[in-house]
Amino acid sequence: MSRQFAILGLGYFGVTVAQELIRQHDDVLGIDRDEERVNALSNLLTHALVADISDEKTLSELSLADYDAVIIDVDDNLEDSMTCTLLLRELGVREIWVKAHSDTHYRLLRHLGARHVVYPEYDTGVRVAQSLHYHAMVDFIDLGDHQFVVELQTTENLCKKCATVADLELDDDKLALIAVKRGREVLKSPDPDTPLQEKDNLILMGDLDDLRKLGSKL
């Protein structure tokens, strides 16, 4: 079943989101005040419209509250970004995603009621730093309150010490091993006697400090 999304401002981030949603067979409305940009993307989007996203009358006529989510990506005008966020809140849009461009912009958008503020430069920087520091980490999701889901790749060193899942000596009250990914195979809730192989990917959930302790074994 397809869902409906609106992308207000067709910057690089907005277009990337639109492309992936279209790939998932969702309906996507794209709006930008730049006619040339809209025309260039009209074949990609389900619907394309040239309009000023900071204009209250325009937004009110689009029935955006009926959409599953609205994404705002205004690269060249932070005032438009904040104005659009405020107007969408007043129009009853239930899920708003906005791209932030600075720490101050991020805080302002949160105060204006955006449910999801995406700060690509910051988020990517954190991921790069974590991957550099914890060399075996493939990916992570911050759940809040120091709880994370992480994907760690086993090393030769770890496999010498830990032949099976049981050898990891995980405290079930602190860390949960959700799955082991081995190539295209996914072993969900692996048994304690499941053997570990080099370059297996371990999917774990738990407190950051406990995950760091496990990471030190890698």
Summarised one tens digit per residue, pLDDT across range 39-72 is 999 899 999 999 999 999 999 999 999 999 999 9
Each residue's pLDDT tens digit, 188-202: 989 989 999 888 988
Task: Report pLDDT for 100.
Answer: 86
Nearest to 41 by CA among 68, 58, 21: 21
Task: Report pLDDT for 180.
Answer: 92
What is the overall mean pLDDT for the chain?
Answer: 85
Compute CA 112 distance to the chain's CA centroid, rounded to the nearest angstrom: 21
Percentage of the chain exceeding pLDDT 70: 88
Task: Report pLDDT for 107.
Answer: 85
Dist. CA 84–CA 29, nearest whole Å: 16
Task: Report pLDDT for 116.
Answer: 85
* Highest mean pLDDT (candidates 74-88, 108-122, 125-139, 203-217): 74-88
- For residues 41 and 17, the answer to whether their CB atoms sit within 8 Å is no
Assign 21 a pLDDT band (cuts: 50, 70, 90): very high
Do the strands 47-50 and 27-32 form a parallel or antiparallel pair, or are they unpaired? parallel
Dist. CA 177–CA 172, nearest whole Å: 8
Whether pLDDT at 37 is above 80: yes
Each residue's pLDDT tens digit, 92-145: 998 999 988 888 888 888 888 787 888 766 665 555 555 544 556 677 777 777
Average the pLDDT over 68-78 and give the result. Answer: 85
